[in-house]
Structure 1
C-alpha cells in the first residue's frame, strides 16, 4: 500500500528553491520537519552568500522501517537520522565543510560523486586519503565549481554500505535560473530485504559475474510508492536520482499532459536544453532533473513509473494540494549554461577503453588482502570477473598499487572510446571530471555532459575531457559488484 506524505504543505512553504526555514544550526539552517514528512530527510543550506556550509555526517547503523508491519524496521546505515539524508544545499560559490564521523565498526570515507574537486577531497581510501577508522573524524572542504544535483557515498565495502542506505544528496543551486514552485529530491533505490525486514545477501557470484544482484523492494526516498504532495498547478522540479547498486531505470511522469509532459533540464546535474522525458535510461549513480506541471485540481495525482522492465513499475505519486496557483503557460526554460572546460576534440588524443569479462578469473586469499599497503579486504573483492583493457583491478597478485590505466598530460584533450565487449549494461563513471558525450556506433546520442554514461551491450561510445584537474582519478563501472570484481582502475593526470 502506498505511503502518504501527509503533512499539509502551504503554497508559501513550497515556493522557491531550497524549501528553507530559519531554524539555525551553526552557520547553516535546517529545514523544518514538516517539509520532509515521513522519511524525507532534513535539508541543510547556507545562511548567506559567501558562508561556509558546515555539516556533520555521522555514519552509523540506524533502524528505519522500509517494509510495512508485521515486518520489523531494517538496520540501515545512514549519514543522518533517516534515509535519504541529509540533503545538503549550497548556492554556487559557497564552500562546503563536511565532517565525517565514523560510527561504524569498519573504516570508511566519503566520495563526492560528480563534483570537480581537488584530488585530495575525492574520498577514495588508500588512493586519495587514508581510510577513516572507527571512531575517527575526517574533514572534507571544497567549493563545488558547478551547480547541479550530486550525491555522496562510501568507496569501500560499497556493496553492503550503499545497499544499506549510506548515501546523501548534495545540491548546488544555480544563479539566475528559472524559478519553480517546488524543488524535490527523489532517490530511487531497491533494497535486498527478507520478509521480516532483515537484509538478505547483497551479492553473489552469479549476480556479480552477470547483470548484478537485484534488490527485492523498490522505493523512492526509502518509501514504497509514496504519495508526495506538490502545489496544485505548480511547476515542479524533480531531481531524480538512481542510487541503486545494480538496477537500470527509465522513468516517466504519467499523467503530466500540461505542456507536453515532463521535460529533462539537466543530466548528472549538467544543464541540457529542455527535451521530453521519453526515453533516457539511468544506470546506477545517474541523475536527471525534470520539470512538469502539477495537476490543477487538488487531490489529483501524477505517477512516477519505471518502464525499464517487462511490466512498468509504479514508484511514487505526486498529489496536487492547496489552492491552485494562477494559470500560466507551461514552457520549460533552460537552466543557465554550465562553465565547463571545453575539450579540443579535433586535436584530442584517442584513448581506447575496453570493458570486458576478465580473461582469467582470479581468487585471492583474505589474509593476503589484509596485508596490502594500498588497500584491504574491505576495498577489494577476493574474486575478479571483469576487466578494463584486459586488466582487472587490481591485477598482479594484489601486492602493490597497479599502474594507472593511462596517464594524461595536464592541459591536453582526450577522447575515450568506451567499448562494451559484454552482453551486459555498464554505467561508466569518472571521478573529478565531467565527460562531453559525443557519439555512439549503436544509437543516436544527444550531445550532453555527464559524469556517468550508460554503455549498452556491444556499444562503442565516444566521450571527451580536457585534462585540467591533476591527480589519480578512479574510472569504473557503477554497478557496484562489477566495480568490486575488476571493472575499475584509475587515470593519472600529471
Structure 2
C-alpha cells in the first residue's frame, strides 16, 4: 500500500489511532457495486448503473462510540474507487485519499480499513476517487455513532432527510455528471430533485406533542440549501454530528434558516403540534420554498408541554487552545488554467504515473487554494503542502473566498471550531468538519492538529476535481 507511493510525497508522518488497542472490534464486510433503481418512480424506467454499498441505496450503519471497525472492503464496481470516512477522526492511512494515503482499489480488488469511532454523531462515507461520477450515481452511506450519554436525551422519533439530486434524462438514464460550465462556476446541478432518493417528498409520522430528531444531510455534489421549517418550535441541536451548545431556536438564527452545502449535516429538534397537524421542512434557497419532508402528528397519548431545546452531550473531540493558536491564511480563488505555483511533474516521475493510474484527477484546472491547485489531466502535480504543521499544536485558519461562488470547505481527520465570519456577524460559534464560505467572505476556524497527511478541499465535487484541494503535512 503506502510503500508503493512515490517518495515525492515526502516524509511519511505517524498514522495515529484514536482509540486504545483494547477497544472492542466490529468486523464489517463492505462492498461497492452497481444495480438498477427506479429513481423516477415505480412506473418509470429503471436507472441502470446506480452505485451503492452492499446493494442498498442510502444504507444506514449504526455503531456504538468506542468501537473499532475492521472493514474488509471489496470493489465490485467496474472502475477504481476508495472509501473516505467523512468526519471520522481516525488514522490517516485509512482516510481513502489516493494516491496520498493509499493506492486506488482496482475493480475486483480489496482493502482493509481501520476505522475507529471515537466520537458520537452523524457521519457518512463515500469514495474519494471519481467522486463526481460515483457519488453522483448514489455511492454513499450514512454512519450514525451512538452513545449511552446521548441516549439519555430522549426523542420520540428520528427521521432522516437525505438531499440528493439526480442527473437523469427523460428515459431515466444518467447524463453527464459534469460540464465545463458547471465545474468552472457553481457546479453542474441535477435535473431531478429528490429527498431520500424519491422525487416525492417523504411523509413521516411522529407522535403529536412529541420531539422529533430530524437528521439532515446534503449528499448532493453541488446543491446548497437554506434549511428551515414552517413551525416555530424547532431548534438546531447539532452540526456535522457535533452538539451545538447551547442549541439555537431556528427562528433566532439569521433569516430563520441554517445554510448547508454538500457534505454538511444538521440535527434539528422539532416539537410536534396536535394530532392531524403537519410540520413541513423546506429548502428556502429557491424562488418558491422546496418541500423536503412533511412530519405528520399522530395521537400517541402525549400531553402538550412548553417547547425547550434539548442540549446534547458536549463533543469529546480534541479542542484547540484558543489562547495559544498559530495563524494560517488561505485564499479560495479561480485558477488561471495550469499556470500556478507548483510546476507540473515530469512525465517520467513515478508520482505522475501514480496520479494517472489513480484515475482520481479531473480533466481541467479551474480552481486554486492560494494560487496552487491539485492535479488534473492537463497539469499532473502533487502541490506542496499548504503548510507543515506540528502535531498537537493549535491553529486558526482564515479562509477567504475571492470567487463569485460559494465553497463548502472540508478538512479531513479533524473536528474544528468555527469562530467567526466577516458576513454573518450573529452566527453562533460551532463545531464542524465542513464550513460554508460565501463569495467575498472570510471565515475563521480553529483546530488542534493531528498527525498525518490530510487534505483540505471544496466539497462541491467538481470544484475539488478541477483543482480546489490542498493538503497539510502534520508531524
TM superposition score normalised by structure 2: 0.87
Task: Give 1:470's aligned residue.
Answer: 451
Mapped pair 1:115 → 2:88: yes
Distance 2:68 2:400 in 1: 37
Distance 2:395 2:57 in 1: 38
Q: Is the 8 A contact 2:422 2:443 kept in 1?
A: yes
Distance 2:452 2:117 in 1: 17
Task: Give 2:51's aligned residue.
Answer: 77
Distance 1:193 1:349 in 2: 47
Return 5+ residue gaps in structure 1 as ranges: 1-48
Structure 1 residue 384 displacement after superposition: 0.3
Matches within 5 A, 1:153-168: 153-168=126-141
**CA displacement 1:87-128 (0-9 Å, x = unmatched):** 111121122222222111111111011111111111112111
Task: Give 1:447's aligned residue.
Answer: 429
Q: Is the 8 A contact 1:372 1:400 kept in 2?
A: no
Task: Give 2:274's aligned residue.
Answer: 296
Return 5+ residue gaps in structure 2 as ranges: 1-21, 251-255
Structure 1 residue 227 displacement after superposition: 1.5
Matches within 5 A, 1:122-133: 122-133=95-106
Task: Give 2:224's aligned residue.
Answer: 248
Q: Is the 8 A contact 1:84 1:167 kept in 2?
A: yes
- CA distance 1:237–1:144, shift in 2 (3 Å): same
Structure 1 residue 394 displacement after superposition: 2.6
Distance 1:340 1:482 in 2: 29
Mapped pair 1:141 → 2:108: no
Task: Tell me how large the CA RMSD over aligned residues is.
Answer: 2.4
Distance 2:296 2:418 in 1: 36
Distance 2:67 2:306 in 1: 34
Distance 1:324 1:82 in 2: 35
Distance 2:205 2:369 in 1: 45
Mapped pair 1:405 → 2:386: yes
- CA distance 1:338–1:318, shift in 2 (3 Å): same
TM superposition score normalised by structure 1: 0.84
**Is the partner of 1:140 in helix, strand or coil?**
strand
What is the aligned length?
Answer: 438
Task: Give 2:3's aligned residue.
Answer: none
Task: Give 1:38's aligned residue.
Answer: none
Structure 1 residue 322 displacement after superposition: 5.2
Identify which of structures 1 and 2 has the higher relative contact order when contacts are C-alpha pairs closer than 8 Å and 6+ apart.
2
Distance 2:351 2:391 in 1: 35
Distance 1:423 1:310 in 2: 20
Distance 2:171 2:238 in 1: 39
Q: Is the 8 A contact 1:270 1:449 kept in 2?
A: yes
- CA distance 1:481–1:295, shift in 2 (3 Å): same
Q: Is the 8 A contact 2:417 2:446 kept in 1?
A: yes
Distance 1:446 1:90 in 2: 30
**CA displacement 1:298-327 (0-9 Å, x = unmatched):** x43221210012221112212234534344
